């Protein structure tokens, strides 16, 4: 199978996020980037499919801080090739990102081989202009499934059968003809761990192909106004003190509310 | 009069979902300021009876065909594109739920319309809407306007009041056809939720664990606390994805929606996807090491510290009290 994984770095929300001086973007000074959780699962799902059906896993990512570590880690886990798209000064919106990624993929495969499955995270926390997968499905005119939590390949690689999450634990099974694109919510197994020594070895033995990204002008339809931190409608009453003192306060609350 | 607002009604297994009424309510509120008519679009097979519940709209467009049973995102977005073209719709509202994810973006991509995702609030000034979007897991909000009159807005489930979108009356229904090629994505079957040992939607007390629990071994701390409070343990997505607890214990967007009397959140940051499933809990007490974790904004009580220190002390005191 020809498996392509599109990766997107997002700000790590464990760190404090601040709005920059322009009031319309994040303050880059203290930003740290990481791969979104669904993207981690997209890598894992790709590796599981490769192990089961053979083929190659190609990673495509836009350049961003920490992206080399992410790509080498995925290579160490078993991906075959990594392409880094350079030249974006700041993270572009999804429509521009989708066109840059589409141009890269077309540069490698045109047309897409019949056994191609493109995977990406089902969503990212900065998807203001929509998710990546549907933009690409439109660009390539190929079938799309979102919120995918399981992938089976049938008919000798001609068809994917996917499990899509709805809500309340309910899921649905859908079939798509390949080539297709899937927005992965979660892989069938937790993302695998790879020892740092293997990542270091990959840094020596493997390489990342850098290519200049084809970045079109962003579409003119949206006007981004102010960005701000949320003004919380309320805030918890914080319970202070050592564990015993906090426990006493909680017990008092629970007793007042007849919960114990 | 402004261009109509088209609301894409969401339904699953023969029922409209709550977010449909939330979208209709949001559309009605906007229509009050702009004078736009509100149209609902219902796409599916055998869905005509549902149209009677969409009376908060001024009219209902119905695309009801046998081949649209559990339609793909592509079919629904195509129907919305054609309906919007026919009625001259300006704004198109879609639900930001797992059921509808993909529809809005497909529609925007194909029809070359701007799209605003994660919308939680709509403000109107001078007859023009400003959409407030929740980004970066709820840590930053962005105010966005559309340059023209047309565009797609994906509304966050639970952000708008559903009551405002319900009406006793029915709206006139107009049948529409759909020009569509054979579906590229075909529905096979539903996979029913796993039935676990515990139904977390029926518990008075839930002890919820998130990434901050750090390891599977630490789950025992939560189990013990739940036991002494006669409740059950549930979890946010990262814990379920690790395989530490079964799917039947997941709270949030893809999992269960719960309304316990007491929800104790251990090491849960409070991402919007999790809030969606537990925001109706009566009393929320949260433990987190990050004083700025969003979970504290919606909780009544908070403890900033290591749950590995605080939880055993609480459990021991509760045990001593009950013995």
**Nearest-10 crossing angle of helices A243-256, B307-322:** 50
Mean pLDDT of B234-243: 94
pLDDT in the model for residue A230: 81
* Burial status of residue A54 (CB atoms within 10 A of its CB: 0-12, 13-18, 19 or more): exposed
Residue A231 has pLDDT above 80, yes or no: no
- Measured in angstroms, the CA of B241 and the nearest CA of chain A are apart by 6
pTM of the model: 0.93
DSSP H helical segments within chain B, as ranges? Answer: 18-34, 73-87, 103-111, 219-228, 237-241, 272-278, 295-298, 307-322
Residue A146 to residue B73, Cβ atoms within 8 A? yes
Residue B151 to residue A221, Cβ atoms within 8 A? yes
Residue A171 to residue B12, Cβ atoms within 8 A? no
pLDDT in the model for residue B2: 87
**Nearest-10 crossing angle of helices B103-111, A132-140:** 50
What residue of B is the nearest CA neighbor of A170? B193
Give the confidence band of B1 by pLDDT, cuts at 50, 70, 90. Answer: low
In a domain, A114, yes or no: yes
On whether any CB of chain B is under 8 Å from the CB of A8, the answer is no
* Residue in B135, B193, B237 nearest the CB of A168: B193
pLDDT digits (tens, 9 = 90+) for A1-11: 999 999 999 99
Cis peptide before B253 (omega within 30 of 0): no
**Which residues, including other chains, have CB under 8 Å from residue A222's CB and lie 6 or more apart?**
A93, A128, A129, B114, B115, B116, B144, B145, B146, B147, B151
In a domain, A238, yes or no: no
Give the whole-number percent of chain B exceeding pLDDT 90: 89
Residue B262 to residue A254, Cβ atoms within 8 A? yes
Q: Kindly list the residues from chain B whose CB atom is less than 8 angstroms away from the CB atom of residue A253.
A: 283, 285, 301
Mean pLDDT of B285-299: 93
In a domain, A234, yes or no: no
Give the confidence band of B59 by pLDDT, cuts at 50, 70, 90. Answer: very high
Give the confidence band of A90 by pLDDT, cuts at 50, 70, 90. Answer: confident
In a domain, A236, yes or no: no
pLDDT in the model for residue A100: 96
Please give the helix or strand (H or E) that residue A96 lies within, else none: helix A94-108
Strand partners, B262: B205, B283
Please give the helix or strand (H or E) that residue B313 lies within, else none: helix B307-322
Mean pLDDT of A13-22: 88
pLDDT in the model for residue A192: 97
Q: DSSP assignment, residue B138?
A: G
pLDDT in the model for residue A38: 97
CATH code for the domain of A33: 3.40.50.620
Averaged confidence pLDDT in chain A: 95
Q: DSSP assignment, residue B100?
A: T
Residue B224 has pLDDT above 90, yes or no: yes
How many angstroms separate the CA atoms of A69 and A51, rounded?
A: 23
The neighbour count for residue A199, using CB atoms within 10 Å, is 16
Which residue's structure tokens are 């962005």?
A: B142
pLDDT in the model for residue B323: 80
In a domain, A245, yes or no: no
Mean pLDDT of B148-158: 95
Q: Kindly list the residues from chain B whose CB atom is less than 8 angstroms away from the CB atom of residue A182.
A: none
Positive or negative, the CA dihedral A202, A205, A206, A209 is: positive
On whether any CB of chain A is under 8 Å from the CB of B137, the answer is yes
Please give the helix or strand (H or E) that residue A107 lies within, else none: helix A94-108
Report the number of distinct structural domains present in chain A: 1
pLDDT in the model for residue A203: 97
Any idea what the Cα angle at residue A166 is, between residues A165 and A168, rounded to 5°?
105
How many angstroms separate the CA atoms of B41 and B174, rounded?
A: 10
Mean pLDDT of B161-177: 95
On whether any CB of chain B is under 8 Å from the CB of A260, the answer is yes
In a domain, A17, yes or no: yes
pLDDT in the model for residue A153: 97
- Owning domain of residue A19: 2-212
In a domain, A66, yes or no: yes
On whether any CB of chain B is under 8 Å from the CB of A218, the answer is no
Give the tokens for residue B266: 């251990």
**Which residues, including other chains, have CB under 8 Å from residue B237's CB and lie 6 or more apart?**
A37, A186, B250, B252, B254, B255, B273, B274
ipTM of the complex: 0.93
Strand partners, A60: A6, A83
* Residue in A122, A233, A238 nearest the CB of B302: A238
pLDDT digits (tens, 9 = 90+) for B62-88: 999 999 999 999 999 999 999 999 999
In a domain, A176, yes or no: yes
Chain B segment 24-63 residues within 8 A of A by beta carbon are none
How many angstroms separate the CA atoms of B18 and B20, rounded?
A: 5
Give the tokens for residue B137: 């897991």
Residue B51 near residue B170, CB atoms below 8 Å: yes
pLDDT in the model for residue A220: 84
């Amino acid at each position: 199978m020809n498996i392509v994984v599109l990766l997107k770095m997002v700000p790590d929300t464990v760190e404090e996020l601040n709005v920059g001086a322009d009031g319309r973007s994040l303050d880059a000074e203290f930003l740290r980037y990481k791969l979104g959780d669904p993207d981690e699962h997209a890598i894992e799902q790709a590796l599981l499919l490769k192990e089961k059906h053979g083929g190659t896993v190609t990673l495509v990512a836009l350049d961003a801080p920490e992206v080399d570590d992410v790509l080498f880690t995925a290579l160490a886990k078993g991906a075959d090739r990594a392409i880094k798209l350079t030249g974006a000064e700041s993270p572009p919106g999804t429509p521009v990102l989708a066109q840059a990624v589409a141009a890269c993929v077309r540069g490698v495969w045109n047309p897409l081989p019949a056994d191609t499955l493109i995977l990406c995270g089902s969503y990212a926390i900065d998807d203001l202009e929509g998710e990546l997968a549907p933009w690409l499905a439109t660009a390539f005119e190929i079938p799309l499934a979102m919120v995918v939590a399981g992938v089976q390949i049938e008919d000798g690689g001609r068809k994917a059968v996917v499990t899509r999450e709805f809500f309340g634990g309910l899921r649905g099974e859908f079939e798509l003809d390949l080539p297709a694109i899937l927005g992965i919510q979660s892989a069938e197994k937790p993302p695998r761990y790879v020892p740092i020594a293997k990542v270091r070895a990959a840094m020596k033995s493997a390489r990342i192909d850098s290519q200049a990204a084809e970045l079109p002008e962003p579409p003119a339809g949206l006007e981004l106004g102010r960005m701000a931190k949320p003004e919380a409608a309320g805030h918890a009453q914080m319970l202070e003190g050592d564990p015993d003192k906090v426990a006493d306060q909680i017990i008092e609350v629970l007793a007042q509310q007849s919960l114990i | 009069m402004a261009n109509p607002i088209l609301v894409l009604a969401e339904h699953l297994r023969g029922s409209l979902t709550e977010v449909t009424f939330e979208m209709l309510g949001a559309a009605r509120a906007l229509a009050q300021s702009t004078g736009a008519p509100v149209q609902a679009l219902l796409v599916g097979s055998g869905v005509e009876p549902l149209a009677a519940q969409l009376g908060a709209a001024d009219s209902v467009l119905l695309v009801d065909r046998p081949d649209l049973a559990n339609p793909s995102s592509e079919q629904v977005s195509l129907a919305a594109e054609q309906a919007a073209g026919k009625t001259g719709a300006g704004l198109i509202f879609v639900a930001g739920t797992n059921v509808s994810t993909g529809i809005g973006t497909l529609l925007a991509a194909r029809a070359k319309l701007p799209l605003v995702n994660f919308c939680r609030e709509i403000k109107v000034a001078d007859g023009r809407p400003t959409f407030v979007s929740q980004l970066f897991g709820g840590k930053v909000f962005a105010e966005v306007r559309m340059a023209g009159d047309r565009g797609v807005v994906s509304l966050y489930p639970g952000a708008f009041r559903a009551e405002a979108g319900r009406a006793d009356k029915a709206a006139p229904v107009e049948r529409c056809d759909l020009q569509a090629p054979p579906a590229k994505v075909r529905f096979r079957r539903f996979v029913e939720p796993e039935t676990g040992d515990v139904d977390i939607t029926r518990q008075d007390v839930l002890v919820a664990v998130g990434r901050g629990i750090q390891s599977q071994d630490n789950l025992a701390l939560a189990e013990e606390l739940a036991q002494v409070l006669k409740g059950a343990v549930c979890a946010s997505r990262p814990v379920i994805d690790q395989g530490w607890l079964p799917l039947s214990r997941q709270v949030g967007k893809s999992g269960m929606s719960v309304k316990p009397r007491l929800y104790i959140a251990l090491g849960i940051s409070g991402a919007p996807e999790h809030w969606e499933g537990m925001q109706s809990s009566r009393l929320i007490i949260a433990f987190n090491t990050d004083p700025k974790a969003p979970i504290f904004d919606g909780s009544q009580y908070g403890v900033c510290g290591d749950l590995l220190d605080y939880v055993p002390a609480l459990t021991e005191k509760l045990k001593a009290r009950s013995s």
